[in-house]
Structure 1
Amino acid sequence: MESNYHTFKRRDNQLIVITHLAQLLTYLTGFGGLIVPLVIWATQKDNVEGMDAHGKSILNFQLSIIVYSIISIPLIFVFGLGILTLILIGILAFVMPIVNGIKASNGELPSYPLSLNFVS
């Protein structure tokens, strides 16, 4: 006998907003900004409408921030250029989760500039 069981995704913009804002945990704990959104995305991507796209954008942005930060460290010795790039990365990593959290609350897709595509 064939089953007619279908999974329906629920709409939960608040959880998506929380996932974006969870990136700010990096400023409190030093590492939570990647781990918490990863856990939320991994556990809810099949249950919440839009979570997969938002989660992938968040992970790509966080991984990009890590890569850009690692690249900036040796640039510190080149006329202090690395210090400037680390400051810019810090500002970007603080502002963009808030901007995209607001966009998510309005049902819009996120856009993270300079984000490399690690997870697709």
Structure 2
Amino acid sequence: MSQVPPPPSGPPAGLTPDERTWGGAAHWSALVGAFVAMAFLGPLLVLLLKGSTSPYVRRQAVESLNFQLSMLIYVAVSFVLAFVLIGFLLLPVVGVLWLVFTIIGSVKSAEGGEYRYPLTIRMVS
């Protein structure tokens, strides 16, 4: 039997440290933007400022932007459903999912990996 070689360690080939930094910024900037209740602004700014310089940064910014816009829709629906009481259960769930997935996306893209958010409506391409 032949053994499969272990995956290479270290940063992925072909990505500069600047690309990994901006790719990570596309995700963690949503956490910063959440303090002013506009988490989509961070990824949008990264897309507009650095999206044309690197395909990797553009992919990560678009992915993060789509996720943030999807979460905004989910929060709005949960808020409306709060009038029927089920929204009170959905709001904390959406909040926890947003926080966990945003942190995972930040870490993965800062390492140079590709990250695709679950539960995302792909509006921006």
Instruction: Verify the 8 A CA contact 2:63 2:117 in the aligned structure 1.
Output: yes
Aligned to 1:60: 66
> Is residue 121 of structure 2 the alignment partner of residue 96 of structure 1?
no
> Which blocks of at least 5 consecutive residues in structure 2 are unaligned?
1-14
Per-residue deviation, residues 28-86 of structure 1 (Å, max 9, x unmatched) = 2222x2112201111211213401111111111011011111111221122x2101111
2:54 to 48, 55, 60: 48
1:25 to 21, 26, 32: 32
Per-residue deviation, residues 80-107 of structure 1 (Å, max 9, x unmatched) = 2101111111111111111011111222
How far apart, in 2, do the equivalents of 1:49 and 1:21 lie? 18
CA RMSD of aligned residues (A): 1.8
How far apart, in 2, do the equivalents of 1:36 and 1:102 lie? 16
The range that moved more, 22-31 or 99-108, is 22-31
Aligned to 1:4: none
- Classify the secondary structure of the residue corresponding to 1:76: helix
TM-score by length of structure 2 reads: 0.79
Q: Aligned residues, how many?
A: 110
Aligned to 1:14: 21
> Which blocks of at least 5 consecutive residues in structure 1 are unaligned?
1-9
- Classify the secondary structure of the residue corresponding to 1:107: coil
Amino acid at match of 1:62: Q
